[in-house]
Amino acid sequence: MGFKKFNLKPSLQEGIDAMQYTEPTPVQEQALPIILENKDLMGFAQTGTGKTAAFLIPILQKLDGKTKPGIKCLILVPTRELAQQIEVNLTGLGYFTSVSSQAVYGGNQGDLFSEQKNSITSGVDIIIATPGRFLQHLNLGYVKLDQVEMLVLDEADRMLDMGFVGDIMKISELLPKSKQTLFFSATMDGKIKQLASKLLKEPNEINLAIAKPAEGINQMAFMVYDEFKIPLLEHYLTNQEVKNMIVFASRKSQVDEVTRRLDRKGFSVVSMHSDRTQDERNEAIRLFKAGKYTILVATDIVSRGIDIDDLSHVVNYDIPNEAADYVHRIGRTARAGKNGAGVSFINVDDQVKWSYIEKLIEREIDKYLTPEEIGGSPTYNPEANKSYGGKKKYNNRRKNNNHRGKKGGSNNRNKGNHSNNRNRSKPNNKKSE
């Protein structure tokens, strides 16, 4: 029966059909009845599980047909990219309904703030906002919150990491006490539960595979020194069939350097980070999605909230500082039950962080040496590096026979993206011991 078993309004069901949603995902199966019964919900689910539709569908069901103008639902998110993505999904699902929406976030466009103000004052039904920008509108005195029925916090863990807790609490205190609150997070630690306890009333809880990458992602790692990372990336791109790839780097300068080097080698590449204007970032994503570029090099600005169909590869050029961010990064691939590859480059300094990632995902990932024709590889020994704060250097690495002599990489082109678990093709190099 698909979504028809929820007895949704015909206008909403038409939008669901148009979006080609056929069967509800597990998080949708569990969340919809709870939200439709007006109960508070604390949901823990990884990226790519259909979480956005899990709260948008019941919200649209409840708001469709209400004619009195005014904000009835406020959705708070950590980034403008996620706000934009939710608005796109909301527009598609709610196309045949009467529900209106507006994304509210910062940016360099001069008329953006005025456009947001006009939507707010005209009585839009749903606001999807970053906390800081929404507070700017609130402080100017024209935002009316007396009709708000629902508050949604999406990716609450990321908002906590970004220091938005104070803003969230200020906003929440201005909302009607009778509101329904929906709280979604990819991680479930003490701080997250503490924040949830302040915002929710006797919530129902759903918990789906917290911080675990999708089964369809073939995860692998290469032991590599920093100076060999770009040659290793070029080698991988040359020797594997890559449909499209996101490369995550930690710093904007690294994004620019990797992009320049790959462009000089003739690869189809575009970059994206916070120094780009919003128009430039939107255009980079649009062209990458359209297939005009094969490779997108970016900071974590695209690790959440960006849906890219059939992304074949994700590369962690740098290991993220937070283990949960690893899950969000590689969660850009193998979405909706498809397969993909998650490749990570581990230098000496990142070994401790990598050990935390393996602890979080409860799995040891296969590790390979840098191909011998590129250079040597560090030995994987995170326990040794902990005593140096993760900063131990191998100054004599070229003299250490343990770092050389083990052949790495494949000289033959291996077809596929290493994502078929039944018949996976792996690089021909030896694993790091």
Of 307, 296, 252, nearest in space to 274 by CA: 252
Distances (CA, A) of 408 to 86, 195, 224, 225, 233: 42, 47, 11, 14, 13
- Those residues whose C-beta lies under 8 Å from the C-beta of residue 226, and which sit 6 or more positions away, are 347
Q: What pLDDT does residue 108 have?
A: 64
Task: Work out whether strand 73-76 and strand 126-129 pair parallel, antiparallel, or are unpaired.
Answer: parallel
The CATH number assigned to the domain with range 2-208 reads 3.40.50.300
The CATH number assigned to the domain with range 217-403 reads 3.40.50.300
Cβ neighbourhood burial of 140 (10 Å; 0-12, 13-18, 19+): exposed
Cα 100 to its chain centre, rounded Å, is 26
Annotated domain spans of the chain: 2-208, 217-403
Query: Residue 45, SS3?
Result: strand
Q: What pLDDT does residue 47 have?
A: 65
- Those residues whose C-beta lies under 8 Å from the C-beta of residue 399, and which sit 6 or more positions away, are none
Q: What pLDDT does residue 116 have?
A: 95
Cβ pair 394, 378 in contact under 8 A? yes
Given the structure tokens 């220091």, which residue do they identify? Answer: 163
| CA–CA separation, 215 and 258 (whole Å) | 29
Q: What pLDDT does residue 307 have?
A: 66
CB atoms within 10 A of CB 387: 8
Of 189, 130, 185, nearest in space to 156 by CA: 185
Q: Do domains 2-208 and 217-403 have the same CATH topology?
A: yes
Q: What pLDDT does residue 424 have?
A: 36
Ordered mean pLDDT values, 10 residues apiece, the chain (433 residues): 91 94 90 96 80 95 94 95 92 96 83 92 96 96 96 91 92 96 84 90 83 83 97 96 93 93 96 82 88 92 66 94 82 80 96 91 93 95 62 38 37 38 41 51
**Sheet with strand 73-76: strands edge to edge:** 101-104, 126-129, 73-76, 150-153, 180-185, 41-45, 204-208
| CA–CA separation, 393 and 323 (whole Å) | 22
The DSSP secondary structure of 361-420, one letter per residue, reads HT-PPEEEEPPTTT-------HHHHHTTTT----TTGGG-GGGSSS--S-SSPBPS-S--
Instruction: Tell me the sheet residues that pair with 248.
Output: 298, 316
